[in-house]
Amino acid sequence: MNDYQKLKNAGFSNYEEMEKNNGVNPIEVSEKYYFDMLGCLPPSKWTRGYLYDSFYICEGLTGNLHQWLIRADKKYFTLIAPKQCNHEEIVNRVRMAETV
């Protein structure tokens, strides 16, 4: 299954559900997808850390929700969340998803 199929299956194209749930939980994506998104539009709130980097795509999806991309050591994730979130909140959502 490619990254775009994973996103669709996770609900990334269901805007009504996204708004109702205030986003979509993190899913793992490929390194290529992460870097494609990093290069498509200027990254917003790009925060670089030792183990975790995060940014969101400046073009919103619906309402106040944006697609966030996260590098967690050698894994890559994406999720839908409000742009007001900060790096720590986004990283914590990824950490919680990894433990499930």
Find the mean pLDDT for residues 66-93.
94
What pTM was computed for the model? 0.91
Find the mean pLDDT for residues 79-97.
93
Find the mean pLDDT for residues 19-26.
90
- Rounded to the nearest 10°, the torsion over CA 71, 49, 66, 34 is -30
Q: What is the pLDDT of residues 56-79, one digit of tens each?
A: 998 888 888 999 999 998 999 999
Q: What is the SS3 assignment for 60? A: coil
* pLDDT-derived band at 26, boundaries 50, 70, 90: very high
